[in-house]
């Protein structure tokens, strides 16, 4: 049990310096809300693109930062990713020391492409376990191009994300499937894969 009274079912080591807790049972109390800051609020306040913030956390630029997944009753019990205010203050000091101002997004951090991470079932009738996964800013066009080769191709999953997350997500998918091409996989449990993708992006977006 951690200092906030939460009892995680398991810990996911998303990165060497970022420990992500899932399976939170209790709701976030008013006191707990005062003690933490959501990742979304962090990026807005310190003026950093979301994908760059995630990279810095993963590489340990801010030291060891614990990210927790909590239920916020002020948001209809929605799960939110948070860090302690102590860690947040530490991050702000590091940013200022590196010459970045607060509430100002640095120009070199605006290169991110926003789009969709998608999963297409390439041949539902004959090879139901084969999927094409990837990132696209216009997924509808991508699916249309697949249908030229595979007329039965079907878009079964899509989620908003930045292009930065494509390679890490593909690597994560490969751990629970058989990779037969750069973005082509044979997946036995597609629901498990889509759930993992949703949970990871909730923490980082």
Task: Quick: pLDDT tens for 101-150.
Answer: 544 444 444 455 788 999 999 999 899 999 999 998 887 777 887 887 78
74 DSSP assignment: G
Instruction: Extract the tokens encoding 181.
Output: 């091409």
pLDDT at 36 over 80: yes
Instruction: Extract the tokens encoding 179.
Output: 């990779």
What radius of gyration, in Å, describes the C-alpha atoms of the chain?
19
Task: Quick: pLDDT tens for 180-199.
Answer: 988 899 999 999 999 999 98
The CA distance from 112 to 166, in Å, is 12
Exposure string over 36-61, b if 16+ CB within 10 A, otherwise e: bbbbeebbeebebbbbbbbbbbbeeb
Q: How far is CA 174 from CA 87, 92, 93, 132, 163, in A?
A: 33, 36, 38, 12, 18
| pLDDT at 104 (0 to 100) | 46
| pLDDT at 112 (0 to 100) | 56
pLDDT at 158 over 50: yes
The answer to which of 25-34, 120-129, 170-179 has the lowest mean pLDDT is 25-34
Higher pLDDT, 9 or 71: 71
Look-up of token digits 């058989």: 178
3-state secondary structure of 170: helix
Higher pLDDT, 179 or 34: 179
Q: H helices within the chain, ranges in order? A: 30-35, 39-46, 50-58, 85-97, 139-149, 166-175, 190-204
| pLDDT at 130 (0 to 100) | 95
Dihedral sign (CA 73, 52, 177, 139): positive
Look-up of token digits 């082509």: 184
Task: Quick: pLDDT tens for 89-108.
Answer: 888 888 777 766 544 444 44
The CA distance from 50 to 54, in Å, is 6
pTM over 0.85: no
Look-up of token digits 């996964």: 133
Instruction: Extract the tokens encoding 133.
Output: 């996964």
| pLDDT at 196 (0 to 100) | 92
């Amino acid at each position: 049990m951690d200092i906030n009274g939460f009892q995680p079912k398991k810990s996911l080591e998303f990165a060497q310096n970022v420990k992500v807790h899932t399976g939170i049972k209790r709701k976030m109390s008013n006191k707990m809300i005062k003690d933490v800051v959501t990742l979304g609020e962090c990026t807005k306040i310190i003026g950093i693109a979301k994908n760059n913030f995630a990279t810095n956390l993963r590489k340990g630029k801010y030291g060891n930062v614990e990210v927790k997944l909590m239920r916020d009753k002020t948001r209809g019990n929605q799960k939110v990713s948070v860090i302690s205010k102590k860690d947040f203050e530490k991050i702000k000091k590091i940013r200022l020391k590196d010459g970045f101002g607060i509430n100002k997004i640095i120009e070199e951090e605006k290169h991110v492409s926003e789009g969709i991470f998608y999963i297409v079932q390439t041949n539902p009738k004959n090879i139901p376990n084969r999927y094409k996964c990837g990132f696209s800013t216009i997924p509808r066009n991508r699916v249309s191009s697949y249908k030229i080769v595979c007329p039965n191709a079907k878009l079964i999953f899509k989620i908003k994300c930045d292009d930065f997350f494509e390679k890490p997500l593909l690597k994560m998918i490969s751990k629970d499937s058989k990779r037969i091409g750069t973005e082509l996989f044979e997946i036995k449990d597609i629901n498990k894969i889509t759930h993992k993708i949703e949970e990871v992006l909730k923490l980082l977006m």
